[in-house]
Amino acid sequence: MRPVDWEAVKKIYLQGISTGNATFQQQAPSWEEWDHGHLNSCRLLARVDGHVAGWAAISPVSNRCVYAGVAEVSVYVSQNYAGKGIGTKLLSILIEESEQNHIWTLQSGIFPENIPSLKLHQKLGFRKVGRREKIGRMNGVWRDVILMERRSIQIGLN
C-alpha cells in the first residue's frame, strides 16, 4: 500500500465506518495520520480487475519494547466484493507476513455485532480472549468489543 492507493483505501474504510460496526472512528484520517499509526510492513491490498477490493494492515499496540511483536489487525473489504473470500485471503497473507516481520501476537477488537469479522478471525486461528465491556462510546452509546488474538506457532515461543 502506497500513498497513491490512499483514496481507494479511504473509500473502503468509510464504507466500514458507515456500518457502525467496524470501528469506533467516525471519519477517515489523512494519509499521513494513517501512515504514522500503522507499521511500515504488512500493508496489503486486494485488487480485482484493477480495482482495490480490500485492504489489511497492522498497528503497534504499544511503544514499549516488550510489545514489539504484538500488533492490532485491520481488515476491510469493499461492500462491492463482500462474501467473495477477499477478507480470508487478506488476513491469511497478513498472518504470514506478520510472522516474517517477527510479530508473535496479532489481536483484534471486534464489535460483537460484527459476526462476519468474528467468524473470519476465528476461521484463521484467532481465539476469543474476552469481552471488553463498555470500552468506548460511539454516538453517545457505550460499546463492547470482543478481544481476539492469534499467537504465532512460528516465533516468540522459544
pLDDT tens per residue across span 81-109 = 999 999 999 999 999 999 999 999 999 99
pLDDT tens per residue across span 102-140 = 999 999 999 999 999 999 999 999 999 999 999 999 999
Q: What is the mean pLDDT of residues 42-47?
A: 97
Q: Domains for the chain: give ranges and CATH numbers.
A: 3-151 (3.40.630.30)
pLDDT of residue 97: 97
Q: Is the pLDDT of residue 144 over 70?
A: yes
68: CB partners within 8 A, 6+ apart: 60, 102
**CA 67, CA 69: separation in Å to the nearest integer?**
5
pLDDT of residue 153: 85
Residue type at 101 in one-letter notation: N
Tell me if 127 sits within 8 A of 98, measured CB to CB.
no
pLDDT of residue 155: 79
Hey, what's the cell of 59? 498497528
User: Beta strand 141-151 with 44-48: parallel, antiparallel or unpaired?
Assistant: unpaired
Using left for φ > 0, alpha for ψ between -120 and 50, and beta otherwise, residue 142 falls in: beta
| DSSP reduced 3-state for 46 | strand
Pick from 86, 141, 155, 143: nearest CA to 117: 86
pLDDT of residue 158: 53
